[in-house]
Structure formats: C-alpha cells, structure tokens
Chain A
Amino acid sequence: MSALVEAHGLEMEFGGPSLLAPRRRPVRAVAGVDVTIARGEALGLVGESGSGKSTIGRLLLRLLRPTMGSVRFDGHDITALDRGAMRPLRRRMQMVFQDPFGSLNPRMTVGAAVADGMLLHGLATREEARGRVAALLARVGLPPEMAARPPRALSGGQRQRVAIARALAVEPEFLVADEPVSALDVSVGAAILALLRDLRAERGLALLFVSHDLGAVRALCDRVAVLYLGRVMEEAPAEALFRDPRHPYTRALLSASPARPGRARGPRIVLTGEIPSPADPPSGCVFRTRCPHALPACAEDVPALREVGPGRRAACIRNDLVLP
C-alpha cells in the first residue's frame, strides 16, 4: 500500500504573545506528530480533550496550516499551498463533522447541499447532478423525497447521512470524520458507523476517524494512534492495540471506557488527577503526572516513539511495560 496522506513533525501552536497580552503563552495543540495513511486505510485518532486529535484532522486537510512540519497528499507537498493551488486537491479530501446541525446550510435543500460540491468542481451538469443526488441519498439510506426538504426537517442521524452523502458526492479518496456519532443516540450512531464501514470498503476510501470512543474506533479502524496532550503515546494495528495495549495511558483509557455489559475486565485502572493544560504541559513525558508507573527519569526527556512490536510504536521508557 502506498501512502496517500503523509505528515512529518506536525506542530501546531495557537495563541501566543500579542500586543495586548505580551506574556501569553502559546498553546501547543500538536507537538511533533507523524501520520501516514495508506490508500483505503482507516486510521483512528483517539484521545481526550486537549489531545490535539481534531487539530490533526484539520491539518491533514490543510484547513489549518501547521506551525512546523510538512503534509503531503498523494505525493504533493501541500504544507504551504494557497487556496487556489489547494482547490483541485480539495475535491479529493472531504470531511464530516461532529455537529450535524451546524454543518449544513439551513437555506439549502438537502438535494442542493449534496449537489453543491459536484457542480462547484464541474463533475456534473445540473441534470446529471439530480440523478446522482438521488443515488447518493439512496446509498446513505435516505428516501428520494428527502432531496426537497430543508435540513431542519431532518433528525440528527438523517443530517449526518446527508453530510456523508455530500462528502461522497465529489468522489474523494480521503475522508476525515471528526466525532461523527458523538452527538447522536446510540442506536443511530451505530447505524452511521456501519454506513461508514460499508462505504469505506465499497469505495476504497482512506479514512481518518477522530474519536474519544474506543469502541467506535475498534468497529471501524485498521490502525489506531492514541494521543495525549498533542503527542502520540502509542500507535498500533487496531486488533493488537485493543487486545494487548502497551502504553500506560492506552491501558488506562481502555480500562476507563465502559465495557459492553457482561464482558469481564481486569481490575479497573482509575487515573488520578486532571489532564494538564496544553499551555503548560509537564516536562519530559507529558503523561507522567498521571501515570501509575512514572519514574523520576520520566520528567527529564520527551520519550521517543519507538518500535515495540511489529507495526507498533510506543512513547514510554519503561521497557518492562511496553516491550513484549
């Protein structure tokens, strides 16, 4: 598999000193992250508030320009491309957002919203677009009469289906889905995940799935990167990560996630303390202040993300924990 999306040394800072606040410290939302996504591959980005997972999604789509590092899409360096130069590539990368109520223009009918991108990129005439919209709506599980309705007449789940149809309308190769089901009811969210899974397989889409929900990630992704305060703590094939988590943070995160009722679990790991502020991260390993296995040495250097098994890497100096 060749890499479709490749980012190296991504860093993103927000804020920082300004005329009115000369001493304000910048928030380092992403602090040196590498991401590679192969064609057709689904990568899950998992983390809690302040982990930088949503920012990484926006950086890969170049909705944000990184402070440092590079982003390549299908071999093109897009790190510094301007709007005009990005335009032909925009069609090939699409996004589905968390909030299905904010992501659709309330003045456009569902049909117009889905057709919009096709017309904009000159992929279809108005006549052709009508037929394609009907087919897309059917594919995402919506009846054809939905095309004439305004978004406000739709439920949250239906809106998210429209958002997916709209993204697929321009036949992208890469889709970023940022918490697409976290605003939905469980039964509706599960159906949206199933739809994404089917579409991915059917169209060979590469997917970046940003989520705090490990269960959803397991159901959808091939590979998972676990983030904490802007850094990757562990990265592994999904199956291996869930079966045998190595990094202490991954272990705690898995343990804290509610199990499906009836599933046996080992002793619960409840982390103490708070997630530190990304404006003032701890020295050395950013997780050390909550890590049950931290050593004095953990405060010294930022641990390297190193190979700890086939296709898996972890950023932790404790060999006894991360090596098999």
Chain B
Amino acid sequence: MNASAPLLRAEALSISFPTGAGLLHAVEDVSFTLAPGETLALVGESGSGKSATAMTVARLHGPEARVSGRLDWTAREGGTVDLATLRGEALRRIRGREIAVVFQDPGSALDPVFRIGDQIAETLRHLRGAGRREAAEGAVALLDRVGIPDPRRRAGEYPHQLSGGMRQRAVIALALAGQPRLLVADEPTTALDVTIQAQIVELLRDLQLREGMAMIFVSHDLGLVAGLAHRLCVLYAGQVVEEGPAADVLAAPRHPYTRALLDCVPDIDGDAVPPRGIPGRMPSPIAPPAHCRFADRCMLAEAACREAPVPLIAVAPGRASRCLRWAEVG
C-alpha cells in the first residue's frame, strides 16, 4: 500500500505547550508517511502524544501550541502544502473537504439545538455548495450510509434523542459530508459499549474500503487496532518508540515498551499469565530525560541506554525501533 505517493508525510513534527512550570513537550520529532487509503494507528497511553499528533494533523491543536517540523499534504488538485503552517483560505479548503475528524465524545461534535439532518445538510451546503433540497436529501443518504436505520425519521431528531452509538454514526456521517481523503479518528469507540464498539469499527473498516479514505486512528487499545490498522506507530512520552506494519509489530514487537503494553492486555481467549502492569511512571513531559525515556521502567535497560539519546533504528524493511537492544525483545 505504501508504494503509491504518500498522502501525508510528517517530518520531524514537534509540538509543545507553554505551562506555568515550563514548556511541556507533548510530541518530539515524530515522522511518518500515510498512503492514500491507508490506516495508520497511533497507539500509546495518556501523555504519549498520540492525540496531540492527530489533532495537529487536523489543525485542531489550539492556538497556544508551538508546532515545528513539516506536515506535507498532497492536495486533491495536486501540489503539496504544509499543514503545519497553513492559514486562512488555504486551511479552509482542506478542512472538512480533505481532512475530517471524529472524536471520542460524539456529543461534542453535534449541536444539541439543531436536528441531526439539518446539521449534516448545512455542512453539505457549506462544503459542497449543495442546494437546500439536494442537501436535505444528501443528509438522509449519508445517515443511511453510516447504517442508521430509518434515516429519514432520524434526520428530524435532535442529538439527545439518539443513543451513544447512533450519535457516533451521525458524527461519522457529518465527517463524510465533505468527502474527505483522510479521516482522523481520536478514540472514536472508547466511550461506547463493547457490542456497539464492534459495530462502529465494522462501519469504519467498511467505509474505508468503499470510499478509499485514509485514516489516522488514535487508540490506547492494541486489540482494537489489530483488526483495523495497516501501519502502527507506538508512542511513549512524546516519541515514536516503534513503527511498522501493524501485523508485524503486534506479532513480534521490537521495543520493550510495545512488548510490555501487549502483555498488559488481559487474555480473553486463553490462559496467558494474568498481566502485572508496567512498574513506574512515564517521565515528566516538562523535563524528559535526554536518554531513552523508557529506561527507568525497562527490563532490558543497561548503562548505554542512559548515556545518550536513542535514535529510531531500522530493524527490518519498513520497521523501526528506538531501542538499542531491539534484537533481544521477544
């Protein structure tokens, strides 16, 4: 899938936020490429920088964020723009039309005082220049496409009349309104019940196949990501610690953090030893150590890990690990 020209190329992306205690380094030197139609999962725990990375791609990082590096986007009509510095009209041309976002909380994306159908129709008018009637019909068609039963009736309802799962479907319909080429989904199923989560994952997978949309899927759940992502970036304390094809990384991780995180997933299907968690805490994002950031919690750490920054090391074609002892990770 990576053979075609990339849709998005992140190059040395760093994001920091000024705080009273100093500069908080949320993301440091993150690079990745995303091909058209590809799903990249950004995986990590709180404070890993996964959401900050995704929100910066969607240019929803907030005015106080300091962003450096490049986010080269291949525009629909050809040519490359840098999302990291895009402003004004050029940014509006991308938003919704090329890149759309789905958040964890479907409530936040919908306006409680407007009917679902009207909100989608309004977006269709704005992004696609649809006429009033065409937009209203388009809204019903979109609700139908995301699997909302009886879409014509649902279009006339308000967000509070929909269940959490239906609301998330409506938000996805809203995101599809501009026919985006990239969907940024930030923990889109975390707030939902398990059987509803399975439905939404199924929907996203299906939409992606049918629409050929690329997706950046942010998640803390390795089990969920396994069935959805082509490529995987594992983040820890603002850095990519491992990346590669999702199936390869999950089957044979090459970073001790990925290994430890996998071991934390309780085994529903077998009797693997119950997990014991990862001792210790993530280092402070305000003054992270210059050396390996996982060293203090790592079973394999040795003196060299605490001497100098560890670069991302190519460990196989298309795979990299930020670990000096990657070959010993099993």
Q: Which residues of A contact B (CB under 8 A)?
A: 48-49, 155, 185-194, 197, 212-216, 218-220, 242, 252-265, 268, 270-272, 274-275, 290
Say yes or no: A259 contacts B268, CB within 8 Å: yes
Say yes or no: B46 contacts A218, CB within 8 Å: no
CB-contact partner of B266 in A155, A193, A256, A268, under 8 A: A193
CB-contact partner of A215 in B45, B220, B267, under 8 A: B267
Say yes or no: B45 contacts A194, CB within 8 Å: no
Given the complex of chains A and B, what is the CA–CA distance between A254 and B220 in angstroms? 19
The stretch that binds A, out of B16-24, B180-188, B193-201, is B193-201
**Given A186-B221, A191-B278, A219-B267; 7 other pairs, CB 8 A cutoff:** A186-B45, A186-B265, A188-B278, A190-B277, A259-B269, A262-B250, A271-B195
Say yes or no: A256 contacts B277, CB within 8 Å: no
- B270 close to A (CB within 8 Å): yes
Given the complex of chains A and B, what is the CA–CA distance between A264 and B45 in angstroms? 25
Given the complex of chains A and B, what is the CA–CA distance between A20 and B190 in angstroms? 37
Q: Which residues of B from 30 to 57 have beta carbons under 8 Å from A?
A: 45-46
- B155 close to A (CB within 8 Å): no
- B281 close to A (CB within 8 Å): yes
CB-contact partner of B202 in A155, A187, A260, A270, under 8 A: A270
Given contacts A48-B195, A268-B198, contact A190 B264 (CB under 8 A): yes
Given contacts A212-B193, A253-B194, A256-B198, contact A263 B270 (CB under 8 A): yes
Given the complex of chains A and B, what is the CA–CA distance between A252 and B194 in angstroms? 10
Given the complex of chains A and B, what is the CA–CA distance between A242 and B193 in angstroms? 19
Say yes or no: B195 contacts A253, CB within 8 Å: yes
The stretch that binds A, out of B65-73, B103-111, B223-231, is B223-231
The smallest beta-carbon distance between A252 and chain B, in angstroms, is 6
Given contacts A185-B220, A274-B196, contact A260 B281 (CB under 8 A): no
Chain A neighbourhood of B277, CB < 8 A: 187-194
- What is the size, in residues, of chain B's interface with A at 8 Å between Cβ atoms? 42
Chain A neighbourhood of B199, CB < 8 A: 270-272
Q: Which residues of B contact A (CB under 8 A)?
A: 45-46, 163-166, 193-199, 202, 220-227, 250-251, 260-262, 264-270, 272, 274-279, 281
Chain B neighbourhood of A274, CB < 8 A: 163, 165-166, 196
Chain A neighbourhood of B224, CB < 8 A: 258
Chain A neighbourhood of B251, CB < 8 A: 261-262
Looking at A155, A192, A212, A261, the one whose CB has the most chain B CB atoms below 10 A away is A261
Chain A neighbourhood of B267, CB < 8 A: 215, 218-219, 260, 263
Given the complex of chains A and B, what is the CA–CA distance between A219 and B277 in angstroms? 13
Residue of B with least CB distance to A258 = B223
Residue of A with least CB distance to B198 = A256
Chain B neighbourhood of A272, CB < 8 A: 199
Say yes or no: B268 contacts A270, CB within 8 Å: no
The smallest beta-carbon distance between B11 and chain A, in angstroms, is 29
Say yes or no: B269 contacts A219, CB within 8 Å: no
Say yes or no: A263 contacts B269, CB within 8 Å: yes
Given the complex of chains A and B, what is the CA–CA distance between A312 and B267 in angstroms? 22
The smallest beta-carbon distance between B295 and chain A, in angstroms, is 16
Chain B neighbourhood of A214, CB < 8 A: 194, 268
The smallest beta-carbon distance between B53 and chain A, in angstroms, is 17
Chain B neighbourhood of A189, CB < 8 A: 264, 277
Chain B neighbourhood of A185, CB < 8 A: 45-46, 220
The smallest beta-carbon distance between B59 and chain A, in angstroms, is 27
Given the complex of chains A and B, what is the CA–CA distance between A218 and B275 in angstroms? 11
Chain A neighbourhood of B220, CB < 8 A: 185-186
Given contacts A185-B45, A242-B268, A261-B223, contact A193 B195 (CB under 8 A): no
CB-contact partner of A193 in B45, B164, B275, under 8 A: B275
Chain B neighbourhood of A187, CB < 8 A: 45, 260-261, 264, 277-278
Chain B neighbourhood of A218, CB < 8 A: 266-268
Say yes or no: A242 contacts B269, CB within 8 Å: yes
Say yes or no: B226 contacts A261, CB within 8 Å: yes
Chain B neighbourhood of A256, CB < 8 A: 194-195, 197-198
Say yes or no: A261 contacts B262, CB within 8 Å: yes
Chain A neighbourhood of B225, CB < 8 A: 261
The smallest beta-carbon distance between A99 and chain B, in angstroms, is 15
Say yes or no: A259 contacts B193, CB within 8 Å: no
Say yes or no: A260 contacts B265, CB within 8 Å: yes
Chain B neighbourhood of A48, CB < 8 A: 193-196
A-B contact pairs, 14 of them (CB 8 A): A48-B196, A193-B266, A193-B274, A193-B277, A215-B265, A219-B274, A252-B195, A258-B265, A259-B223, A260-B262, A260-B268, A260-B272, A261-B223, A274-B166
Residue of B with least CB distance to A254 = B268
Looking at A197, A218, A260, the one whose CB has the most chain B CB atoms below 10 A away is A260
Given the complex of chains A and B, what is the CA–CA distance between A275 and B227 in angstroms? 24
Say yes or no: A215 contacts B193, CB within 8 Å: no
Given the complex of chains A and B, what is the CA–CA distance between A253 and B268 in angstroms? 11
The smallest beta-carbon distance between A193 and chain B, in angstroms, is 7
Chain B neighbourhood of A257, CB < 8 A: 194, 223, 268
Say yes or no: B269 contacts A260, CB within 8 Å: yes
Chain A neighbourhood of B226, CB < 8 A: 258-259, 261-262
CB-contact partner of B274 in A197, A213, A265, under 8 A: A197
Say yes or no: B45 contacts A219, CB within 8 Å: no
Looking at A186, A254, A268, the one whose CB has the most chain B CB atoms below 10 A away is A186
State the 9 A-B residue pairs at the shortest beta-carbon distance, nearest first.
Answer: A191-B277, A258-B223, A215-B266, A261-B250, A256-B198, A190-B277, A48-B193, A187-B278, A219-B274
Residue of A with least CB distance to B193 = A48
Looking at A190, A252, A265, the one whose CB has the most chain B CB atoms below 10 A away is A190
Residue of B with least CB distance to A277 = B163
The smallest beta-carbon distance between A171 and chain B, in angstroms, is 25
Given the complex of chains A and B, what is the CA–CA distance between A155 and B275 in angstroms? 20
Chain B neighbourhood of A263, CB < 8 A: 267-270
Chain B neighbourhood of A270, CB < 8 A: 195, 198-199, 202
